[in-house]
Structure 1
Amino acid sequence: MKRAGIIGGLGPESTVDYYKLFIDKYQQRVNSRQKLPELYINSINMYNIFQFISENEIDKLIDYVGKAAQQLESIGADFIVIAANTPHIVFDEVRKQVDVPMISIVEATYERTKEMGIENAGLLGTKFTMEHDFFKEQFWKHQEKITVPSEEQQAYLHEKIVEELENGIVKEDTKKDFIQVVNQMVEESGIDGLILGCTELPMILKEGDVSIPLINTMEIHVDKMVEQVFREE
């Protein structure tokens, strides 16, 4: 059985959810509550990530996340995931720094949208995820549409993600505002699926809150982790 390595702390709330969901899905796979997967978590500081991106210090970002991956590899991780969307800005560069496989949340999410038949996906996340192209490029290179909110809405969503959701705070007023943003994207841009491109977003947006399917990047990522555990090379 392969051992997972998780780069976590990005933020802590979703790292806990990754851990619990990975165990749950693993136990479903083996049909036993008496068995557990083996894994390592290297918890780093999400605020360092935000600072490096804000100051356009991409080399420092690569080095910071890359060292976290190398540490997991050195202690025996057979594959590695970054338990957040935003740090995937440098995923390709980090992947080159280790010899074990790394599973991309962006690639996995694109595959799922294709399976679902989504033709114009909406993307919510931190401002870094929405304003940079690393997520959108996965769709563009396949001539697929992907839509983000307005710059003003991006700033608001980012503020609420960082100040509230990253700290485990869910407010009803914030949820109403998020739903309003999504409804506007449906009406004005015709999105037919919504990518929850921040692993804290499932805390506030649930299936049925809006008229279109929600695409939970964390759950998709964890599904790939479980597949990797049992994959024969």
Structure 2
Amino acid sequence: MEKEKIIGILGGMGPEATIDLFQKIVKLTRAQQDQEHLRIIIFNNPKIPDRTKAILYDGKNPLPELIKTAQELEKAGADFVIIPCNTAHYYHEQIQKTVGIPILNMIQETALYIHHTLPQAKRVSVFATIGTNQAGLYQTYLNYFGIETLPLTKTEQEQIMEIIYGVKAGQDLNQLKKRVIKIAKLQTEKGTQAIIAGCTELPLVLKDGDVAIPIIDPTLILAQKAVEEATP
């Protein structure tokens, strides 16, 4: 009989997003009592340098700290790793080469989810950091399935960045929610058929049902995949 696997969460980018992923895993687990929940090792490492600054502005390289954190999770007994940070997936392959356990790819899983669950969505918007969007992290996987991405305007992208860093800074979530919904409605008017909340801070202020089209939550998709992977 296959044994239950231990989940490792490479967290801290940011801490609120890490909490959100953990809570979603707990809620998605079919458990009637404590002992039926999954074992999870969380390394909340907020000292990992900013990913967007590194990718675009020659900031401090986060890769050494990402590798070190993944290796610590492996040493602690994790059977696989998940990373609640979209932009960190820019380094996914490089981190994977340094550990002997799988690192699930949230961006790949999200593209697969849209392809299988929303086959009618052939044009989507990616609300993410400038680093994620300029690196084409989602676009690469979505293009594979013939899904077009509707680009954000420069102003919309700047506002999304302000909202993301506002969540990180603990600003009023209701005010941030109003701002992101306004951008979502503009994208809907331009013909987008779904919106990916492609930064792990965004599902805290943008949820399915907030606008007329589906809001895709990669954190939720990753949580579901982790539960499936860990459950015998």
Q: TM-score, normalised by structure 1?
A: 0.89
Partner residue in 2 for 1:139 = 142
Of residues 179, 182, 199, the one that matches 2:181 is 179
Q: Which runs of 5+ in 1 are unaligned?
A: none
Q: Read off the aligned partner of 1:159 and give its amino acid letter.
A: E
Contact 2:17 2:84 in 1 (8 A): yes
Partner residue in 2 for 1:53 = 55
Q: Read off the aligned partner of 2:140 and give its amino acid letter.
A: E
Q: Read off the aligned partner of 2:32 and give its amino acid letter.
A: S
Q: Distance in 2 between matches of 1:175 and 1:46?
A: 27
Q: Which runs of 5+ in 2 are unaligned?
A: none
Range with greater deviation from structure 2 (137-146 or 221-230): 137-146
1:33 aligned to 2:36?
Answer: no
Partner residue in 1 for 2:6 = 3
Identity score, percent: 26
- Where 1:195 maps in the other structure, the secondary structure is strand
Contact 1:175 1:205 in 2 (8 A): yes
Partner residue in 1 for 2:167 = 165
Q: CA RMSD in A?
A: 1.9
Contact 2:86 2:107 in 1 (8 A): yes
4+ runs deviating over 6 angstroms: none
Q: Distance in 2 between matches of 1:121 and 1:181?
A: 14
Q: Distance in 1 between matches of 2:112 and 2:47?
A: 27
CA positional deviation for 1:166: 1.5
Contact 2:115 2:145 in 1 (8 A): no
Q: TM-score, normalised by structure 2?
A: 0.89
- Where 2:224 maps in the other structure, the secondary structure is helix
Q: Read off the aligned partner of 2:201 and give its amino acid letter.
A: E
Range with greater deviation from structure 2 (164-173 or 218-227): 164-173
Q: Distance in 2 between matches of 1:182 and 1:71?
A: 39
Q: Deviations over 1:115-170 (max 9, x none)?
A: 222211111022222222122111123332122311221112102211x2123433
Q: 1:46 to 1:222 in 2, by over 3 A?
A: farther
Q: Give the length in aligned residue pairs.
A: 225
